[in-house]
Chain A
Amino acid sequence: MSLLSLTAVELGKKIKSHEVSVAAAATAVMDSIEKKDAELNCFITKLDRDAVLKRAEEVQKAIDAGELTGPLAGVPVAIKDNMNTKGVLTTAASKILGNFVPTFSSEAVVNLEKAGCIIVGKTNMDEFAMGSTTETSHFGATKNPWDTNKVPGGSSGGSAAAVAAGEVPFALGSDTGGSIRQPSGYCGVTGMKPTYGTVSRYGLIAYGSSLDQIGPIAKDVTDVATILETIASHDPKDSTSVKREDYDFTSALVDDVKGMKIGIPRDYLGEGIEPEVKDAILAAAKKLEAKGAIVEEFDLSLVEYAIPAYYLIACAEASSNLERFDGVKYGYRTESYEELHQMYKKTRSEGFGAEVKRRIMLGSFILSSGYYDAYYLKALRTKAMIKKAFDEAFAKYDVILGPVAPTTAPELGSSLSDPLKMYLSDIYTISVNLAGLPGICLPCGYDNAGMPIGLQLIANNFDDKKVIRAAYSFEQSREETRESQYLASED
């Protein structure tokens, strides 16, 4: 078995036992990126080889000296390009940040570095995380390693595709409306959005601040729990960071769902879902039932209102968050201008892509006088009702089970022409962000074309461990998953 097929935790063990050196692991990963990424385009920035090897040497020394003993020490990682990395280009896949080199690193990245992880690059994404296919990137689309005619999903498409292709053992993503879970589903990997506030947003380039949350994308549930345990922290630099009672997420890696109450929203299996996806989800539920879980269908309600409420809230927050990009402090500035306001307008018009402009304009409009109540407040009221619907569901169930998306990965180019259609691919993930819940996506089967199908498990706020436990139990009973054509070609 090649190094690239190992999970992050398996690789970490081999590094710890000196079976594999940190430099050898980093070199294998960098070679793999070199070989595959010309076609897949998962990376916006690849770190300089010498710099990576120098860092690998330092980490190796710390491991040998017994200073670094964690499960991820020496393991290479890729970071979504909307997380600041000190001294390393961070673009959020936008022309407007095309030359931005941060002076500090995001807290999640700092936590990984403290654990001895080796950052090898920054992954492609939809511009400012606004999109569901990774096609709105200023640096070109990422391709799905299972079928290069298809999208990897988005917005963390580069991270999910890089893991699926064996370019890197694990990656960080961010999830505002499904941006970790949906690409994980399309790429057949495992990704988790933790409870809002679990991972610090400090240094994450903001899109929708009340919805954004960083999380891991990896090969299995053990990796996801281990990475989450590493990046989660209470951070005074992020005022929405929560001091949790538990950070021991790996303690939930228990193969036991006896008596666990699992609800399947009927609304998640209705109109619009592909029959193959529905069958795979119901088969997964049967597996958990066979292991002793109590599974039943129920009506979650309000599902059709989640997407419109989300777009109003996310666009409103985005229009405010993206005001800072004005050509003064960092990033792109237009070539010719005469006065300040013209410089702002030309800079932003040339620096932002079409989808970003669309969302900023909608957000500005609904926050403007005369429309604020009808749109923005209406969306916030809807959010309160959606949260209440989940509260009622979690009074009855430990975990909600459903698909991550109505279909498997669509063809490249098929979504951009119709933004509304693209928005609909997030119908099962978006309400989780509105309510701040933890959600995981892991592979549960394949469609007739061989494309992976993602299973989503959701729990109440701070019940991240229930999600991990249910996912781990399912994983233990799942048939062997396949590898993408890019990962399989390693052996």
Chain B
Amino acid sequence: MANVIDDETIDYVGILAKLELSDEEKEQAKADMARMLDYVDTLNALDTASAEPMTHIYPINNVFREDVVVNSDGSEESLANAPKAKENQYVVPKTFA
């Protein structure tokens, strides 16, 4: 089964992945994704109906801890990594036009 990724799909994936692709990149991405999907489609030959989806190999239990503060504020250090900061806050561009 050969997968074909159309423009609409790759645009949708761009929105989900928050990536902006040039026309050239878009064509490459369509071809790459189709090829990857063709490859992973080999799984279709395997009957998995009897297997439960396994997210974790061990039984997962919620890990509880006491709600005690163990770290310091650290906001100044953390903000030092921000591309833009002002008055102890991150600066982002306007969100409403």
Q: Which residues of A contact B (CB under 8 A)?
A: 99-101, 103, 196-197, 210, 236, 239-240, 242, 302, 304-305, 308-309, 311-312, 319, 323, 326-333, 337-346, 348-349, 352, 357-358, 360-365, 367-368, 375, 377-385, 387-388, 419-420, 435-436, 461
Residues of chain B contacted by A342 (CB below 8 angstroms)? 20, 93
Pick the contact of B39: A349, A365, A420 (CB < 8 A): A420
Q: Which residues of A contact B69 (CB under 8 A)?
A: none
- A305 with B18: in contact, given A103-B78, A420-B39 (CB under 8 Å)? no
Closest to B97 in A: A339
Answer whether A330 and B82 are a contact pair too, CB < 8 Å, given A343-B93, A384-B51, A385-B48: yes
Once bound together, how far apart are the Cα atoms of A340 and B97, in whole Å?
Answer: 10
Q: Is the CB of B57 within 8 A of A344?
A: no
A381 CB contacts on chain B under 8 angstroms: 48, 51-54
CA distance A262 to B81 in the complex (A): 51
* Closest chain A residue to B22, Cβ basis: A349
State whether A361 touches B13 (Cβ < 8 A): yes
A308 and B12 in contact (CB under 8 A), knowing A330-B81, A345-B19? Answer: no
- CB-based contact B90/A329 at 8 Å: yes
Over the window 1-39 of chain B, the binary record of Cβ atoms lying under 8 Å from chain A Cβ atoms (1 yes, 0 no) is 000000001001110111111000000010011011101
Q: Per-residue CB proximity of B28-70 to A under 8 Å, as 1/0?
A: 0100110111011111101010011111111000010100000
CB distance from B24 to the nearest CB of A (A): 12
Number of interface residues of B (CB under 8 A): 48
B54 near A380 (CB under 8 angstroms)? yes
Q: How far does the alpha carbon of A103 sit from the alpha carbon of B48 in the complex, in Å?
A: 45
Residue of A whose beta carbon sits closest to that of B49: A381
B12 lies within 8 A of A236 (CB): no
| A contact residues around B93 at 8 Å (CB) | 337-340, 342-343
Contacts of A333 in B (CB 8 A): 83-84
Q: Can you list 23 A-B pairs, Cβ within 8 angstroms, ordered by A?
A: A100-B81, A101-B80, A236-B65, A240-B56, A302-B46, A308-B41, A311-B36, A312-B43, A329-B78, A338-B93, A343-B93, A345-B19, A361-B19, A361-B33, A368-B16, A378-B48, A379-B43, A381-B51, A382-B51, A384-B52, A385-B46, A420-B36, A461-B58
